[in-house]
Chain A
């Protein structure tokens, strides 16, 4: 018995250690960025745009604006498509008899899974070749958000599907029994009930856009001016970190921008977790 409990204690000790290591890595990475980055952050940092070419002076105002535009435009492309796809996959094709529809669903799922695995540099390459060059959209918010939409469509589909599945079947049956058709049921009953779940998916996608660098590196151009139309180029905050670290003398600014980025991600995670725990509290 002693030997057995010794084995158990040793093994559990190791598992505690790995768990602690994961936390420590997070604390170290986030802590390092914050300690190096926070001292450089002031109100000015948020309200002035980058300037001064090589010296990397100025703040991050225009990169915040560009990041915001990128989130809005990319979501505008991806959300309707992603939510629509999820509705079809969960609401319309669940109990179908038709073999054609079943084949379509298998095909669609294959597409979603494949798309989810495509590395972002391929989206960038594709966006560069198709939108930037062939369709003459140039380095622009439009080109970049079309390429970026490919990245987040699978995220939205997956989270929306989860949200739709968690809506109790009774809701649908009730609505259908009252004479509503499938679309009316979906639109008026299922979607409102799944709203919180879907919004976490949208928020998660916004986080992916904030973090993404590779796609925008080859499609957005990197101009640090405030964009004034869909055809303007721009620089997101993540891209700004790259440019600052690689092109300028301002490593400290790169750290400060990274700290703001990490802060944003922490905030988004907190919001998502709050929404999710409310959902499970409601269901529990």
Chain B
């Protein structure tokens, strides 16, 4: 594969200069992140199988994890979440000499690492933990939300007020208590056969940690491309609506079914509000879970405050293993928005927007990372 030719690329995300940590390698410019919590949260989102493939490109990192040839989880982390970021392409001439069939493949370097180990290393000082993020979200999802209590307030999101609410959440989630210590990191990868090197420190006077994580040649992953032209269902909703539904489900369920029906008068959006009382027989979106001990159904109302986007071309009904869907919960819990898409063959794509802790205005535009899950449907004939 092409990847194997890329030898000396280097990625680094490092400590701020203030910490005055010596560079691991003089060859590359450095990049840094002063608080690894956001990075660690993204990694935890896909931490359901230990072996992960990290692909490095000019624009950022993707972390890909696969389970049972059915479920594929990918975290897209853009370079601007790092304070500094540098990628040195190992072989630019090769990229141009390649045929046109490679034109859409971005110049990259890939390697596999044990993801658990990477996360443990980031949390070596105990200050990359999920504590602050999960406390705020778990305290919320335990209780039922009353209409008008929180959802009204969050409903502002879609009216262009998103920046403010993301920043608010970001500060709550990542910067609770100004005195709290943070771990800063510099990460370097020198190319095939080299370990992934992390340099971690809490502050200038405290201890420093160096980690060298063994990397492996990447194994080819499942290719689950989502073709938008074959999409039959597309929903965008606030993550909390899906999170509340899925976290209610008992782990003993083994099958989860998504049922979608086209809205009954698709053209007349004004009359939708009134219709929702009459469409009991044909729900717009229903989540059905079944297991040895019973089954449960949850319907979503046809309400703009709940389903921000709902596109459905025909009646859809696809089932998935609940164990696979529940793998997405950790990412879901830390996300703000969810896009759920299903194509005609039942391939499910769940994308979670992970709010970045950086204030939008500070560093120009900062793109939020997102985590994408693809899951194949169960074969109903069996």
Q: Do A and B bind each other?
A: no
- Which B positions have Cβ atoms within 8 angstroms of A? none
